Amino acid sequence: MPEEFREQRAAALASLERHQARFAPECAAEGEQVRELGGLCVIGSERHDSRRIDNQLRGRSGRQGDPGESRFYLSLDDELMRLFATGALQWAMGRFDDDEAIEAKMVTKAIERAQTTVEQKNAEVRKNVLKYDEVMNEQRKIIYQRRDQILEGADLRAAAYEYLDDAVSDLVGVHCVSAATDEWDLDGLLKETALYWPTTATTDELARLDTAQDVIEVLLAESRNHYEQREVELGEDVMRQVERQVMLRIIDQRWREHLEEMDYLQEGINLRAMGQKDPLVEWQREGFQMFGAMMAGIARDFVRYVMNVQVTQPDEPQLAPQVFNMQQSSSDSSSENGFATARAAAVAEEAGAPAPTAAPPAAKQQTVVKDSFEKTPRNAPCPCGSGNKFKNCHGAA
């Protein structure tokens, strides 16, 4: 403990002792008067749902052996009696008048039983809250463990190959379901594949294949070749950094969306009880399915971004922050730059040197034009005409 805090603590204790010595006789005299009058009297206007709260109030009247008294008054119309002690309520209403006080032991025991019932009910509610939170806690552990691995510099090359295999298998499984090759949707397959990497395969080449497994092998070989070409172009170290940054961004975005969807699910999960289903079981089941869909979406987004991301490096890195600041400057800073240029021109004119030219204005940012798929909200119908929501169709990729 620092010496300064020790001195402050000693000064505070000394001040407390002085006040105690000053007011101790007065407090002792007043305490004696209170004890002569019978001590503290605690009057309760109702009974709490928990017996512990009532016992705490009773304890106020008898601290450290001092005399005291406590008395509670309870109406038969209170919620505790009306909902949880209906038997005692009917018995008391038939035997006593409305204005007569009831001090029967049967009513007191009925009140205690009602409090016990409420305590058990609240305990079950707290237990269910913990069970509901266990699902989110397990999911949170998996996500945070994955993020920690990436932040520590994990190599995602093997994961990229695995995600490529899953993506190709899923695409072929959706568009080449039938065993008959004439029923394959090769145009849709190539259209979906182009979202992951710029494929050079054609429908005629794929139509000559015999089985869906052959299609998977062709597309998988093409995807791996494209991935290896990008790794050669960017460099192995740069590729690993890009993969980690892309994965972190995707995980963070998908996890935020997943938390919102889980909150929305929890709001109405108790209605499953009307269909003779356990809400907790339904919460665990659907939560597991939604988490699996989120992990699959992370893998798809990772493949799509890594296979198409472009890395640009400025020629003069030391000037990059200055250019950024100039682009972000306001009209006030522009006027200040104008005054500075004018002062520099005046000084140069006096010295006989040529006046410096003003810096060219910053280039206007080009407007980004988005296609119909990028402008579509997640819960809106998909532009492809499938009739499904965008997040369940092309937005899931």
One pLDDT digit (tens) per residue for the chain, 397 residues: 567 778 888 888 888 888 888 888 888 888 888 888 888 888 888 888 888 888 888 888 877 778 888 888 877 777 777 776 666 666 666 666 666 666 667 777 878 888 888 888 888 888 888 888 888 899 999 999 999 999 988 888 888 889 888 888 888 888 888 777 777 888 888 888 888 888 888 888 888 887 888 888 888 888 888 888 888 888 888 888 888 999 999 999 999 999 999 989 888 888 888 888 888 888 889 999 999 999 999 998 998 888 887 777 655 444 433 333 333 333 344 434 444 454 455 445 555 544 445 445 445 455 444 566 676 777 777 777 777 777 777 776 5
- What gap in Å lies between CA 375 and CA 351, rounded to an integer? 58
3-state helix, strand, coil split of the chain in percent (to 5) is 70, 5, 25
The token pair that represents 213 in the structure block:
């497994």
Q: CA-CA distances (angstroms) from residue 72 to 44, 107, 201, 214?
A: 4, 13, 85, 83
Question: At 71, phi and psi to the nearest 5?
Answer: -150, 135
- What the block records as the tokens of 11 is 């000064």
The CA-to-CA distance between both ends of the chain, in Å, stands at 58
pLDDT reported for residue 356: 47
Count other Cβ atoms within 10 Å, centred on residue 162: 13
- Phi, then psi, of 345 in degrees rounded to 5: -65, -40
Q: How many CB atoms lie within 10 A of CB 393?
A: 18
- Sequence-distant (6+) residues with CB within 8 A of 157 are 240, 243
Tokens standing for 220?
């998988």
Number of Cβ within 10 Å of residue 156's Cβ equals 20
Instruction: Give the pLDDT score at 58.
Output: 84
Length of the chain equals: 397
Based on its alpha-carbon atoms, the radius of gyration of the chain, rounded to whole angstroms, reads 38
